[in-house]
Amino acid sequence: MTVLVFGHRNPDTDAIASALALAGLEVALGTDAHAVALGPPNPETAHALACFGVDAPGVIERARPETDQVMLVDHNERQQSVADIDEVTVLRVVDHHRVANFTSVLPLYFRVEPVGCTCTILARMYAENEVPIPRAIAGMMVSAIISDTLLLRSVTTTDDDRRVAAELAGIAGIDLDTYGDALLRAGAALGDLGAAELIDRDAKSYTLGTTQVRLSQISSTDPTEVLDRRDEFLAAMETERVRAGEDLLLLFVTDVLRGDSELLVVGEPVAAVEKSFSVTVVDGHAHLPGVVSRKKQVVPPLTAALR
């Protein structure tokens, strides 16, 4: 039976690239593995796929009846995974986020490392298994590292990310800075999308203490494009928060050039948000200098404040 490999819902470049990378490695090692996605590629990922001539993975909502065996990349929290995750067997997890809300009946391969990108871990796995990385897959993997680390400028970036990015760029035949700048700009283009679509494009849900929180992020080269539409975004956020039954919905509009974020907030407790970032939220808005990473700069302080 085919093993499905996929990243989290509302997939970003790392979720799709790491699914392609792990599926490719597993096939090379003799497993009938197939990469899929839990949503369509965003503009940044679509740019990378087009640049390296890679077809976008097919989109699924449920793993069954196609398979009852799966591998997870770039996530492990159940609320971020496939709808029927409780009905299938997880064989492997490769991730770089916190571990939460995950249990298994059978032993499994579980690899989580504190690096900037899942594809950094997967590059090491290719080397450990002495499997060469194809050019197209290397291109997707370096795209993921560029995306997750904001071209190696994010606080999440490690020396491993830098080394692996340079190696993958060599295999892919690209100039890291030139290609990386073009990739980030492709991801920052808002186009004609409405507020509701932009809020959902890169969103992850968490249970922090007893509070249900959604953290959405928009990459931008000009956050005023969103702030000028603040009322529209706040209204769409509140509608979505109520629909999903969540307590808090936070939208981070991250300036990929300056390395800051603008924060929009709906729901309660706002006081926990203010405590987390040492800010005052005024009319649903606050400025967060230097904050770019949900994983390292948002989830930990919010978890502490809501505990």
Q: What CATH number is attached to the domain comprising 211?
A: 3.10.310.20
- The overall average pLDDT reported for the chain is 95
Q: How many domains does the chain have?
A: 2
The whole domain housing 175 covers: 3-186
Q: What CATH number is attached to the domain comprising 100?
A: 3.90.1640.10
Report yes or no: 299 and 206 within 8 Å, Cβ to Cβ.
yes
User: Which of 200, 205, 289 lies closest to 248, judged by CA?
Assistant: 205
Q: Are residues 94 and 118 in the same domain?
A: yes
Q: Are residues 157 and 47 in the same domain?
A: yes
* pLDDT surpassing 90 at residue 247: yes
What is the number of alpha carbons within 13 Å of residue 180 lying toward its C-beta? 22
Is residue 67 classed as helix, strand or coil in its secondary structure?
coil
Instruction: Give CA–CA dist 22/202, Å, rounded.
Output: 22
Q: Are residues 180 and 200 in the same domain?
A: no
Q: What is the pLDDT of residues 159-172, one digit of tens each?
A: 999 999 999 999 99
Is residue 229 classed as helix, strand or coil in its secondary structure?
coil
Domain boundary among 132, 152, 186: 186
Instruction: Give CA–CA dist 102/108, Å, rounded.
Output: 12
Q: Are residues 69 and 170 in the same domain?
A: yes
Report yes or no: 43 and 16 within 8 Å, Cβ to Cβ.
no
Strand partners, 69: 89
Q: Are residues 11 and 109 in the same domain?
A: yes
The residues, any chain, with a CB within 8 Å of residue 252's CB and separated by 6 or more, are 215, 216, 217, 218, 261, 262, 263, 288, 291, 294, 298
Q: Are residues 20 and 129 in the same domain?
A: yes
The residues, any chain, with a CB within 8 Å of residue 228's CB and separated by 6 or more, are none
Q: What is the pLDDT of residues 186-205, one digit of tens each?
A: 988 887 789 999 998 889 89
Q: What is the pLDDT of residues 2-48, one digit of tens each?
A: 999 999 999 999 999 999 999 999 999 999 999 999 999 999 999 99
Q: Are residues 174 and 214 in the same domain?
A: no
Question: Backbone dihedral region of 267: left (phi > 0), alpha (psi from -120 to 50 degrees) or beta?
Answer: left
- Per-residue pLDDT band for 131 (boundaries 50, 70, 90) equals very high
Give residue for tokens 């993997």: 141
Instruction: Give CA–CA dist 61/63, Å, rounded.
Output: 7
Domain boundary among 127, 158, 186: 186
Q: When comparing pLDDT for 307 and 150, which is higher?
A: 150
Q: Are residues 45 and 167 in the same domain?
A: yes
Instruction: Give CA–CA dist 237/283, Å, rounded.
Output: 14
Domain boundary among 165, 186, 207: 186
Global pTM reads 0.87
